[in-house]
Amino acid sequence: MTLAKMKFAIDDGSTNVKISWIDKGVIQSITSPNSFRKDWKSAALLNNSKIFNYQIGATKYTFDATSDKALPTTHVAYQYDDLNLLSVHHALLQTGMKPGPISILVTLPIIEYYNAEDCQKNETNIERKKQNLMRDISLNKGELFEIIDIEVLPESLPAVLTTLMDSGVNEFTKSLVIDCGGTTLDMGVIVGEFEDVSAVYGNPEIGVSMVTDAVRKALAAADSDASYLVANELIKRRKDRDFVDDVINDVSKVDWVLGKIEDKITELGAAVAYEAKTFTKNPNRVYLVGGGALLIEQAIRDVYPSLGDKVILVPSPQEALSREICCYHAADEITETDVAVA
Ligand SMILES: Nc1ncnc2c1ncn2[C@@H]1O[C@H](COP(=O)(O)OP(=O)(O)OP(=O)(O)O)[C@@H](O)[C@H]1O
Ligand SMILES: [Mg+2]
């Protein structure tokens, strides 16, 4: 019999894994980008930086933040393949906690978790995800966490669990949750405090990567080829002139690149606002979560003008899902005896 000593809430998104856990009574969260390539890194070249070389079956992988050979994780199959297993284990190591037996809560995209026609749970997909994460994986010269218990939850919707509970909604209130992630736009309508999920929607064509891809192209045109990570950082820090000047080599193109970024952000906002309005014409409240929430906030406010402050940007929107799942499901279960698994 193995005892799971800790429980982690994991939102394993297609571009970043977010983990939240409770350490000495305080909630902690980390974000770990998915950037892996085949084969191992050589230790000899790098003195101080830690190397993460993994093996799954006969295949070797390594974590490589800046490689342009990084394997894509932005397709639905990612939820059930080697890269998902890798990214979850890799992210767990970034928590700084000592590896050991653990139980985890993970997420599936809303349209994988529910059947879109009837909003019922898709037990086949849920089981598939569990089986995938139970597979063997090893870290060269290192120890990994041992996952002994897995619970699967839907993406997006639980991100507003406590916010909804505290907001005094009645049983008829329709809350639209908009999750703008790295590669997908997910939406769901929650009735009351969670009485019912009345509709779900997912669009894998709309996400922050629309902006990132355009920024990378613009940077290349300004003699400043950059990785996905750098491009994303530039989007976040576009108002920080020192950072902008550091990243863009061709000074004559700085304003042009910044203009491109703003154009794409506007385009993303317009696309999300259009989809949201088509999906739910008149919700009573709108909650914005996911890494792209800040980028689309204004567009959503504009498309639902009568809602005013009932359009709510959830605090730290990128980590909201893992944090809320952690608070809600994990906190009260962490005790000395913990979860026993036969
Ligand atoms: N403050 C911010 N401003 C702009 N972009 C941000 C900010 N914070 C995060 N992002 C971007 O949001 C994206 C990641 O969001 P998130 O972690 O929600 O995606 P994901 O869950 O991996 O993707 P998906 O839900 O599509 O599978 C990244 O492109 C990141 O650069
Ligand atoms: Mg996500």
Q: Is domain 167-207+268-313 classified as CATH 3.40.50.1820?
A: no
pLDDT at 178 over 70: yes
Same topology, domains 2-158+320-341 and 167-207+268-313? Answer is: yes
> What's the mean pLDDT in 135-140?
96
Reported as a single tens digit per residue, the pLDDT across 19-30 is 999 998 899 999
Give me ligand 1 centre to Cα 334, in Å: 29
Q: Which amino acid residue places its CA nearest to atom 28 of ligand 1?
A: 182
Position in ligand 1 atom list of the atom nearest CA 155: 25
Per-residue pLDDT, 45: 62
Task: State the distance from the centre of ligand 2 to the C-alpha of 143, rounded, in angstroms.
Answer: 27
Using a 6 Å cutoff on CB, does residue 33 contact ligand 1? no
Distance (angstroms) between ligand 2 centre and the Cα of 110 equals: 10
CA 207 to ligand 1: nearest atom = 26
Note the pLDDT of residue 341.
34
Q: CA 100 to CA 4: how far, in whole Å? A: 8
Q: For residue 183, which ligand has an atom nearest its CA?
A: 1
Superfamily of the domain at 2-158+320-341: ATPase, nucleotide binding domain (3.30.420.40)
Name the residue of 157, 318, 319, 325 whose CB sits within 8 Å of the most ligand 1 atoms, as the mutation to test its pocket. 318
Mean pLDDT of 216-231: 88
For helices 228-236 and 254-279, give the axis angle rounded to 10 degrees: 80
* Confidence band, pLDDT 50/70/90 cuts, at residue 64: confident
Taking CA 291 as the corner, what is the angle to CA 290 and CA 294, rounded to the nearest 5 degrees? Answer: 95
Residue 221 structure tokens: 């045109």
pLDDT of residue 330: 54
339 pLDDT tier (thresholds 50, 70, 90): very low
Sorted by where each begins, the domain ranges of the chain are 2-158+320-341, 167-207+268-313, 209-264
- pLDDT of residue 101 exceeding 70, the answer is yes
Where residue 218 falls among pLDDT bands split at 50, 70, 90? very high
**Do 185 and 179 meet the contact criterion of CB atoms below 8 Å apart?**
yes
pTM for the model: 0.90
Per-residue pLDDT for 10 more than 60? yes
Mutate to test the pocket of ligand 1, among 208, 314, 322 (most ligand atoms within 8 A of CB): 208
Q: With a 6 A CB cut-off, is 295 part of the ligand 1 pocket? A: yes
- In short, whether 156's Cβ falls inside 6 Å of ligand 1 is no
Kindly give the distance from the C-alpha atom of residue 320 to the centroid of ligand 1, in angstroms, as a whole number. Answer: 12
Average per-residue pLDDT for the chain = 90
Q: What is the pLDDT of residue 340?
A: 34
* Mean pLDDT of all residues in 47-59: 88
Q: How far is the CA of 283 from the centre of ligand 2 (A)?
A: 22
